[in-house]
Structure 1
């Protein structure tokens, strides 16, 4: 009996940990980014406005991300970004980090040409009546015939937690 409780506790604890850690890390990274932008630009805003404006980092970060989006979709801006990317790829440690993060982001980007995830879908899985979310990775892998009709079988990636 004691072993069963210990095993169940261990399983549930690690399941919770694997859900909790990405959420906490995401929160801290976003919080750090906004705080960094806020602390970096706060002296400038203080000189302009004459007083402290709480939350200006959040607004500034949104504007900066939007401006980077404008620049990255512009022909000349794309050249600048490509040059910066080539510089990053020449630095050994940064190359590994940058390449990994870029591949991860592009995998989920709907506008990426190299994206393996074409669209978000819901499929009946793992048993009838239960639905899971997934990502369409290929439209028509195999043409199959069912009930006298030809249909396409699609490739779908369904993220699962194998802890349970």
Structure 2
């Protein structure tokens, strides 16, 4: 009975967590319906709340925004809007920082998180998996001797937080695994290990 119980648990727990996350995302996106006039909301049109209608509306708005930004007029409006935001003192620093990060992460020509590496962190004898994000820049280069690389070390089980490190290039061991495999390895706290690959 214990074996059957654990088997059922291993099947249902990931499914339940997945459904819970999807429900949380869809419910959050449904809040976008508040942007519609009251008479256009599903409660008024159909007499009941339509789960997921806000998610469809959000995806549609994002798609239309990207579509409009690709033409000349839309591109001009985006530039004017960004220029306006850059003139607001506090908003300027927040928006520009977030935009630089998002452009790097989501750009098809970007090189963020392209390689998984193994570094000795947080102390000698302990190893962590990190991701190459580039090379140090700015005034930092003037204070580093030798070749250094920028590495992001995510935390477990939440990889959206982590540590930004600049380590000697020779100390960053490139791993023969994809970024997706490395993320699964980190999120699962080492439980879901990638298949053994021969060294490069």
TM-score range, shorter chain: 0.5 to 0.7
Alignment gaps of 5+ in structure 1? 1-29, 139-152
Is 1:157–2:159 an aligned residue pair?
no
Give, in whole Å, the separation in 2 of the partners of 1:124 and 1:61.
39
Which residue is 1:15 aligned to? none
1:155 offset after TM fit, Å? Answer: 3.2
Which residue is 2:31 aligned to? 36
Is 1:74–2:68 an aligned residue pair?
no
Determine helix, strand or coil for the equivalent of 1:159.
Answer: strand
Is 1:132–2:129 an aligned residue pair?
yes
Which residue is 1:65 aligned to? 62
1:109-139 CA-partner distances (Å, limit 9, x unpaired): 3346xx6x444211233389x662302415x
1:42 offset after TM fit, Å? Answer: 7.0
- Aligned runs of 1:2-41 on 2, under 5 Å? 34-41=29-36
TM-score by structure 2 length?
0.45
8 Å Cα contact 1:136/1:154 also seen in 2: no
- Aligned runs of 1:77-116 on 2, under 5 Å? 77-111=74-108
Which residue is 2:182 aligned to? none
What is the root-mean-square deviation in Å for CA atoms of aligned residues? 3.6
Give, in whole Å, the separation in 2 of the partners of 1:106 and 1:158.
17
* Alignment coverage as a number of residue pairs: 116
8 Å Cα contact 2:26/2:54 also seen in 1: no
1:57 offset after TM fit, Å? Answer: 1.0
Pair 131,97 (structure 1): closer, same or farther in 2 beyond 3 Å:
closer
Deviates more, 1:81-90 or 1:69-78: 69-78
Structure with a larger share of its residues in helix: 1
Give, in whole Å, the separation in 2 of the partners of 1:67 and 1:33.
20
8 Å Cα contact 1:110/1:118 also seen in 2: no
Structure with a larger share of its residues in strand: 1
Give, in whole Å, the separation in 1 of the partners of 2:93 and 2:133.
28
8 Å Cα contact 1:136/1:156 also seen in 2: yes
1:22-54 CA-partner distances (Å, limit 9, x unpaired): xxxxxxxx6796243122237314355565322
Alignment gaps of 5+ in structure 2? 1-24, 136-146, 155-161, 164-200
